[in-house]
Structure 1
Amino acid sequence: MIIPGANRRTVRIKLPHSSLYVVPSVIVLVWIGFFVTIYLMNTYFHKTTSSMQQSFDGQERQLVDQITLKNSELEQLQNNLIDLSQQTDEFKAKLEEIKKLEHVVQLMSQTGGTSKISAASNSGSFSGTGSDVGGTEVPVNSQEVSQLVSSTKQDLSSLVGDINALLANLTESEAKLKEAERLRNITPTLWPTDSRNITSGFGIRKDPFTQKPTMHTGLDLDGELNDAVYVTAAGKVVQAGYDNQHGYHIIVDHTRGLRTVYMHLNKMLVKRGESVTKGQKIGLMGTTGRSTGTHLHYEVHKNGVEINPSPYLIQDRKDDR
């Protein structure tokens, strides 16, 4: 029964006896459903939270591993940079040695290879490979690494320029050296005999036959019969024959206006038109022609004029080999 007020009609609701069991049951079922829903939601939230936590933990570990790897790679790159910088210093030291060698080559090309030249380094070089080192451990910062990168880059750029210039200089020096070697080879600088005994020099003397003053246009070198006679420079035999004045004689042209003459031979070992190499045996010493005894009459002609051979006698045959 519902009594709304004094002036209103009373409302009566008649429920069956079964409602006394149904209504509480419904209320109980509603509460049970509520708690089941809360439980399911709580379970789902817990599982979702746990899954998210595991995912976050996995991502965190992955990020830590990646950071560790990047740090290791960065440290390796820094070590490689240090090695590159040290190798650059070593290469610069080697390049300085090559430059000194190139300077020696230039000197040799200028002197024609007849002077003894030596070169020594007065400065040390840093190898960067020693194991006996020490010091405190101080980590590097990004600015120091950047400076090392910049310095190494500049050094490498400078080395490239130095190498290009050095290659050009070496090429030029090689050409000069080859030309110097060619000139040395065709210049009569050897003694034509094993004997060093000069019995008659270049210049005015008494003729051994007439005793009158005459011009002796060469050097007379003493020796034994059939001693070896060597050509004093590379060239081409332009004359090989016999006459009453010179006996068996050989004339060799060395180009550049230079010729050498070998007289009074007992035997000739080369023929006209034959090319000869410096120090080659071309004849045997004798006393043919206008001669008073066994010897070699040796002459040097420059542009068709007989000159004193003495300044050209500066090398033994063994030095040329």
Structure 2
Amino acid sequence: MRFIWGKKELTFMIIPGANRRTVRFKLPHSSLYIVPSVILLVLIGFFVTIYFMNTYSHQTKENLQRTFDGQERQLVNQITLKDNELEQLQANLIDLSQQADEFKSKLEEIKKLDHVIQLMSESEEPNRTSKKLSALSDSTANSDVGGNEVPVTSQEVTQLVSNTKQGLSTLVGDINALLVNLSESEARLKEADYLRSITPTLWPITTHSLTSGFGIRKDPFTGKPSMHTGLDLDGELGDPVYATASGKVIEASFDNEYGNRIIVDHSRGIQTGYMHLNKMLVKRGESVTKGQLIGLLGSTGRSTGSHLHYEVQKNRVPIDPTPYLISNRKDER
């Protein structure tokens, strides 16, 4: 290739070789300046583009780095927060486990109280629930006195959660069973208290001098054998007479044979009678409590001296009161 200088134009010739046609290009003379200028502009544009691309890339990289750093710090803060929350949850779990152990200890005390209630109610039926509750293991006291700080593993935490959950489930079952048992014991205790209140176990007077017992004896007026349906208790005129059990006064009147007499019905077929009184302090229809003052000892009716004729009837049949007289104090309930 060669080119020929002229005044107004340039001719470019391309001679490929022998026996081949020569190719000519004619360009204006000004192209000698234009083409390098265009090439220079292209090169400048290319380098400017490269510069701006590098600048943009650097800024983008810095922005991405700042964003990444911010996200990394946020993630680290979140991880730290989660770690703190996890540690707090573990601490709460340990406290819950210890509280469960303490509650088990309290439950054992309640079981002992339930046993006392059963003894008080004098229940003869074996308590199946208490036998079930006796299988509850005794709690182990915790004593935090120091030691090395060893981080817990996830397996240990999982095991603690499982043990605590199982212990609480067992504890809930034990509490429900104990509540049922306590309700039954309370009902038995109330029934036992009621039975004790209506059972004539007190001495009707403070003195225990027996002048005539229950059964066949020689009548003090006729000297003939007769059935004595109660006990004659010796005492001074005006001595206090007490109700031997709680009940309702069904008779408070004068009788030619028994004089001033009081009969108290205690339900369950049990009645008590207080005869030859000098004075009656209650009226028919009144309710009396065990140990309540109801009259004064006397010698009214068919009597040879001041004394109290005391009777106990079961289903309107007189029975020996002696086995019932087991308490020496009028205020004992």
Q: Does 1:305 align with 2:317?
A: yes
1:43/1:201 Cα in 2 relative to 1: closer, same or farther (>3 Å)?
A: same
In structure 2, list runs of 5 or more residues that go unmatched.
5-11, 125-136
Aligned pairs (5 A) from 1:21-60 = 22-60=34-72
Higher deviation after alignment, 24-33 or 150-159: 24-33
- Aligned with residue 79 of structure 2, among 58, 67, 72: 67
For residues 1-321 of structure 1, what are the structure 2 equivalents within 5 Å?
1=4, 2=12, 4-5=14-15, 16=29, 22-110=34-122, 125-126=139-140, 128=142, 133-203=145-215, 207-209=219-221, 215-315=227-327, 316-320=329-333
Deviation per CA, 1:264-311: give whole Å up to 9, x if none. Answer: 211111223333222221111112223333322222223333333232
Between Structure 1 and Structure 2, the one with more strand by share is: 2
For 1:48, give the aligned amino acid. Answer: T
Question: Distance in 2 between the 1:10 and 1:301 partners?
Answer: 155
Contact 1:189–1:314 under 8 Å retained in 2 = yes
Say which is worse superposed, 54-63 or 170-179, in terms of deviation: 170-179
1:10 and 1:192 map into 2 onto residues whose CA distance is 156
Residue 82 of structure 2 aligns with an amino acid whose one-letter code is K
Q: Distance in 2 between matches of 1:238 and 1:231?
A: 13
| Contact 1:93–1:126, Cα closer than 8 Å, also in 2 | no
Summarize the Cα distance change of 1:244–1:77 in structure 2 as closer, same or farther, 3 Å threshold: same
Structure 1 stretches lacking a partner, 5+ long: 113-122
Distance in 2, matches of 1:97 and 1:284, equals 48
Shift of residue 153, structure 1, vs aligned partner: 1.5
Answer whether contact 1:227 1:284 (CA < 8 A) is retained: yes
- Aligned pairs, number: 308
- SS of 2:112 mapped into structure 1: helix
Counting aligned pairs with the same residue, the percent is 69
Give 1:232 shift.
Answer: 0.6
Separation in structure 2 between the aligned mates of residue 224 and residue 208 of structure 1, nearest angstrom: 19
Give the whole-Å Cα distance in 2 for the aligned partners of 1:111 and 1:202: 32
Distance across 2 between alignment mates of 1:164 and 1:88: 15
**Distance in 1 of aligned mates of 2:77 and 2:314:** 87
RMSD: 3.0
CA distance in 2, matches of 1:166, 1:154: 18
Whole-Å Cα distance in 2 between the matches of residues 10 and 96 of structure 1? 117
Displaced runs of 4 or more, over 6 A? 6-10
Q: What amino acid maps onto 2:46 in structure 1?
A: F
Amino acid paired to 1:144: E
Aligned mates of 1:259, 1:11 — CA distance in 2: 153
CA distance in 2, matches of 1:14, 1:282: 152
SS of equivalent to 2:331: helix
